[in-house]
Chain A
Amino acid sequence: MSGFFDYLIPLLSNVGIFIILALGLNLINGICGQFSLGHAGFWAVGAYAAGAYGLYFAPEIPNFINLFISCLVGMITSALFGLAIGIPCLRLRGDYLAIATLGFGEIIRIVIMNTDKLGGPRGMTNIPHWTNIFWVYAWVILFIFIIVNFLKGPHGRAMISVREDEIASESMGINTFKYKTMAVVIGAAMAGVAGALFAHGQQFLHPNNFTFMWSVIILLMIILGGLGSVTGAILGAIILTILPELLRFMGTTIAEWRMVIYSLLLIALMLWRPSGILGKREINLLGLFKKGKT
């Protein structure tokens, strides 16, 4: 039985990490409508920043404090990257923005590959093991709380209006550039925390963990759940993290087919259900998404 838990708990941790990643990308792509294909880059920045903190800077203090500091390090570093990438890129629209963010994601990976201090092509090893499932879900709950309240307030409304029609939004007094940047910075910050939790869970980082492929998988999560829906992003993250494990139970051949299945899923979704499982709706557990009175 303990063997089963040894298997289950890391899996559930991963689910939590991907929920954070999907929530962040959903804010950028689904809520604000800025199509980014570089989310794995922000994830990598957070993971490596946290890994570097764990390896080189961490003082002798209780693990959970160190983990908290490490998450903040990952969050802030990644947010700064989001700012630095967002300010130039967000002048672009649609498919051009997608390609530019893809480019930045790849550049981040290539730079890490060429940085000795970060392990270069050998990867970063011996990162202290601080992550546990409790702290992963503490962050998940914190982020859900922040995003839900954010979306119900004026800033969330402004972000949605940017997605709906950028020119109209700007003409209604919304500083669209500020909100687009805000979406990317918050999304990147969340990816940074996810990276830190990932680094201190895996204890080993390699640049190839953060290829463009992962940006696509996170994108697939939010599309599957329904672009723009918070519960959809969570649902998508759960499904696409558990699914490969189920496929593994069904035999190795199917696991090898995983990416082929994902690619067909992506195409099938676009052809038959482009709005995903939930569309822009929310699953209303606990009345989290109750509309204010009118």
Chain B
Amino acid sequence: MSQNFIYLCYDILQYLVNGLAQGSIYALVALGYTMVYGIIKLINFAHGEFYMIGAFIGLYLVSLKLPLYLVFPLAMISSGLIAVIVERLVYKPIRYAGKIPALITALGASLFFQFGGQLVIGADSKSFELPYQDKTYILGEVSVTSTQLIIMGVTFFLMLFLWWLVKHTKIGKAMRATSFNRDAAELMGINTDMIISFTFFLGASLAGAAGVLVGMYTNTVNPLMGMIPGLKAFIAAVLGGIGIIPGAVLGGLVLGVAENLVVGLWVSTYRDAVAFAILILILLFKPSGLLGRPTGEKV
């Protein structure tokens, strides 16, 4: 085998590692999109903003020299609470007005946080100082940083937690019931308003964790940082099959890897186009997503 081919393989492995780290972050954000869509059929455009809020809270807490095992839960809870406030104030009154008004409202909420954030904390990027020494481990020609390992570890842990919560707790069962048929769940005595708020809380707290992770990964945060990753995470959710929890994870990882392969093997300036191209392909050829089943409009 030629030398070049071996180097190419190493390169591809390296892109896979970077892609999995990036993809884990997309997956965390995508989970919130998918859960909210699953339960109230709303594309929550503002979801990316909870990720941004999480990153800023994380930045603040790290600057207070709090240890990471406190930074994550606190950032997650605060993002989650802000999401619940938004849900109660804005999304709840519009819930029965139809898909498009809800979508526009979500768009408005998203812009509010982006530009409100710029006014309150300034439009420029802030640097995110790591509270630990970042080490690089090298295996053969492939390197992996301790931050990347933390990202994958935290993501894995949170997914296990989510899986346990949804499958093995009472509130998880209520969430599944509400998502399956809200009216029936309501009739069975489930407080669906509470479940919907809880879903927002859960989704936004996962996004908040992703925000802290991405702050650590890229060492910079800014008020507009949520927009593009938010859209990409939505694409990841659609790719996996919107409303399907494992689908969001799969979609996030696939998207992260695909992006890194394109950037590594082709041109970096098309990074953001990869996701949109994937979105359009999936919508055209399998709109129900990789793990979804086709559905049609009932006549």
Contacts and interface: CB of A to CB of B under 8 A. Distances in A.
- Given a CB threshold of 8 Å, the question of whether A touches B is answered with yes
Contacts, number: 109
B299 A266 contact: no
B119 interface: yes
Contact of B269 (A92, A93, A114, A167): A114
Contacts of B269: 110, 113-114
Interface string A14-29: 0000000000000000
B105 interface: yes
Interface string B100-137: 11111101111110111001000000000000000000
B108 A263 contact: yes
Contact of A264 (B108, B273, B277): B108
B115 A263 contact: yes
A223 B234 CA distance: 25
Contacts of B280: 88-89, 100, 103-104, 107
Contacts of B115: 259-260, 263
B100 A267 contact: no
A274 interface: yes
Contact of B94 (A92, A104, A213, A270): A270
B272 A110 contact: yes
B43 interface: yes
B236 interface: no
Contacts of B284: 88, 91
Contacts of B108: 263-267, 270
A256 B119 contact: yes
Interface residues of B, number: 41
A214 interface: no
Contacts of B111: 213, 216, 259-260, 262-263, 266
B143 to A, nearest CB: 29
Given A96-B283, A103-B276, A167-B299, A264 B112 contact: yes
B231 interface: yes
B100 A110 contact: no
Contacts of A274: 97, 101
Contacts of B104: 219, 223, 266, 270
Contacts of A93: 297
A267 B43 contact: no
A260 B283 contact: no
A265 B107 CA distance: 11
Contact of B119 (A35, A99, A260): A260
Nearest to B93: A271
Interface string A111-125: 101100000000000
B258 to A, nearest CB: 15
Given A99-B238, A267-B112, A110 B273 contact: yes
Nearest to B242: A96
Interface string A186-221: 000000000000000000000000000100100100
5 contacts: A88-B280, A92-B287, A96-B283, A107-B277, A114-B269
Given A89-B283, A267-B105, 9 more contacts: A92-B287, A95-B103, A102-B231, A103-B277, A110-B276, A213-B111, A260-B112, A270-B101, A274-B97
